[in-house]
Amino acid sequence: MNIGFIGLGIMGKPMAKNLIAAGHALAVYDINDAPVRELEKMGAKAGSSAADAASGCALIITMLPNSPQVKEAVLGENGVIHGAKAGSILVDMSSIAPRAAQDIAAELAKKGIEMLDAPVSGGEPKAIDGTLAIMAGGKPEVFDKVKDVLLEMGSSAVLCGGIGAGNIVKLANQIIVALNIAAVSEAFTLAAKAGVDPQAVFSAIKGGLAGSTVLNAKAPMVLEGNYKPGFRIELHIKDLQNALDTAHELGVPVPLTSQIMEIMQALRVDGKQKDDHGGIIQFYERLAGVKVRGGGWKP
């Protein structure tokens, strides 16, 4: 299939590589030239704009930071809407505000272009392996047309409802992940200050009820003091802002989401916004005056 792929960052680049490996003809675009050149060497066509990458493609995929960038790349001056043909499908796999996904879909519909919102969970390792969890919103008949392609980037693709539902599910995912990391961080800091080896904490609890995918992914990073992203704190702040806005719009109080948002804001003020979100533990280390391991607070 001819696929336009726009946004070749930590996630988009390996996802695009997997589509090339699966035999698709890709046209790619990013405002950063380096990943475009890298994919060109693998056989992709370099688009001169989002519109150019979208032209002649049955499917266009976007993997961009947030709602404003997706609006710009899809509806802006040189956006997808000006290159894509009627009957083509845009699948936005970025994590954006559900309302923005609905607004973009409404504009595309005026030109006969279909849209799914299909954000992902799993981070860079699963983007590389092609084992992302994909949560989609849109029309069932549109989803059926692209499901096989989605499964070349993910191990699951679930249609959760109409347009915007994919991002509602992603917000739920991000609330659970953020609070899970905070709980792990709080617990490990307590154990460390009590003089218990954090490695022993991890080994002892990972097989019990406190075990989780988050614990397995983030505890080893915390034990090494390695906060290289992965998923940056600044991107999680973006998701939590979308969660707070959406929840308040719907009349849903989210007290714990507010608390973890403020913890991440404190880390941002401390210059740690580019760290992996596993670096949340540095907030707790500073409060407690203890280093669990590695690059945390230096007394």
Determine the distance from the C-alpha atom of residue 87 to the mean position of all C-alpha atoms in its chain, rounded to a whole number.
27
How big is the chain, counted in residues? 299
Quick check: 65 binds ligand NAD (CB under 6 A)?
yes
Q: Which of residues 120-149 bind ligand NAD (CB under 6 A)?
A: 120-121, 123-124
Quick check: 1 binds ligand NAD (CB under 6 A)?
no
Q: In the bound complex, which residue of the shown chain has the CB atom lying closest to ligand NAD? A: 9
Whichever of 91 and 290 has its CB closer to ligand NAD, that residue is 91
Site string for ligand NAD, 220-259 (x = CB under 6 A): ----------xx---x------------------------
Q: Total residues at the site for ligand NAD (CB under 6 A)?
A: 28
Do residues 216 and 223 touch, judged by C-beta distance below 8 A?
Answer: no
Site string for ligand NAD, 3-42 (x = CB under 6 A): ---xxxxxxx----------------xxxx----------
For the bound state, the minimum distance from the C-beta of residue 209 to ligand NAD, rounded and expressed in Å, comes to 26
The dihedral region occupied by 27, where left means phi > 0, alpha psi between -120 and 50, and beta the remainder, is beta
Q: Which of residues 39-58 bind ligand NAD (CB under 6 A)?
A: 50
Between CA 112 and CA 86 the distance in angstroms is 5
Closest CA to 138 of 160, 113, 107: 160
Whichever of 69 and 193 has its CB closer to ligand NAD, that residue is 69
Token pair for residue 147?
């499901």
| Residue reference for tokens 């806005």 | 245
Between CA 64 and CA 96 the distance in angstroms is 9
Exposure string (b/e) for 59-76, b if CB count within 10 Å is 16 or more?
A: bbbbbbbbbebbbebbbb
For the bound state, the minimum distance from the C-beta of residue 269 to ligand NAD, rounded and expressed in Å, comes to 21
Per DSSP, the residues of 119-143 read -EESHHHHHHHT-EEEEEES-HHHH
Residues that bind ligand NAD (CB under 6 A): 6-12, 29-32, 50, 63-66, 69, 72-73, 94-95, 120-121, 123-124, 230-231, 235
- Active-site residues, by number, are 170
